[in-house]
Amino acid sequence: MRKPLMAGNWKMYKTPAETAAFFEKFLPLVAASNHADILICPPYVNIAAAVAAARGSNVEVGGQNLHTANKEGAYTGEITGAMLRAAGCSAAIVGHSERRQYFGETCATVLQRTLAALDAGLRPVVCVGERLEERESGRTEEVLAAQFRDGIAKLTPEQFGWIAIAYEPVWAIGTGKTATPDMAADAHRYLRSLVRQAYGAEAAAGVRILYGGSVKPDNVRGLMAQPEIDGALVGGASLDPVSFASIVNF
């Protein structure tokens, strides 16, 4: 049985004080939620506040990105996975479509960042997903296959065992358009078949594939009812403690 992972991606939202206020409301609402792993990925400057607030709780804190090299150096504005780990993070989102779209992220750099996260002892949550025109032209599987082949398919089986995959159709992110549970499950089944071909049946049965893209309290149940969907990567609806708690407690 795969334990669900319910992850919040705060993107470029909240201050440290707002982070502390979020946790004060959120933690009691999920204190008994042992059915899922819970992860919150705030902006870097809020990690200390999040880690302090979450100490001793069932909520983990992660980064939203990390540098491709896991070695300190003269890279203004960047941080290493080791720094995230030392700050108390246990995971990092890698290859989010906003990074691919606005910050020049490629499959090659996504792979480098995945390796850097693993090297630092962080669990990578690696994002893949097709754009609207790719879906509309019937190329969803082709795009997912290429992102898989040029990215996480290059991990060793042992490395692969540490990652989670997030399927995030780009057209569903921040748009209010969710993939239907059936559409998401189809994509998840396809991704799992790629994992089976590359890493075998056991790896395919074990890897968690999260869905992301306009997950809300009112659509999470339908998504999570699909056996193929092992959790959610939630943007907008993770910013409010009541809304994210109701997603976690689907």
Kindly list the residues in this chain that would bind ligand PGA in the complex (CB under 6 A). 9, 168, 173-174, 212-215, 233-237
Q: CB under 8 Å to 165, separation ≥6 — which residues?
A: 125, 126, 127, 128, 152, 191, 195, 207, 208, 209, 210
Measured from the CB of residue 72, what is the shortest distance to ligand PGA in angstroms? 29
Q: Please say which residue, 118 or 173, places its beta carbon nearer to ligand PGA.
A: 173
Measured from the CB of residue 235, what is the shortest distance to ligand PGA in angstroms? 2
Q: Please say which residue, 9 or 70, places its beta carbon nearer to ligand PGA.
A: 9
Task: Please indicate whether residue 168 is annotated as part of the active site.
Answer: yes
Nearest residue to ligand PGA by CB is 235
Measured from the CB of residue 166, what is the shortest distance to ligand PGA in angstroms? 7
Q: Please say which residue, 209 or 215, places its beta carbon nearer to ligand PGA.
A: 215
Task: Please indicate whether residue 96 is annotated as part of the active site.
Answer: yes
For residues 231 and 169, the answer to whether their CB atoms sit within 8 Å is: no
Catalytic residue among 96, 98, 130, 134: 96
Catalytic residue among 60, 105, 134, 168: 168
For residues 38 and 57, the answer to whether their CB atoms sit within 8 Å is: no
Alpha helices of the chain — where are they, by DSSP H? Answer: 16-30, 47-54, 81-86, 97-102, 107-119, 132-136, 140-149, 157-160, 181-199, 201-206, 220-224, 241-248
Q: Which residues are catalytic?
A: 96, 168
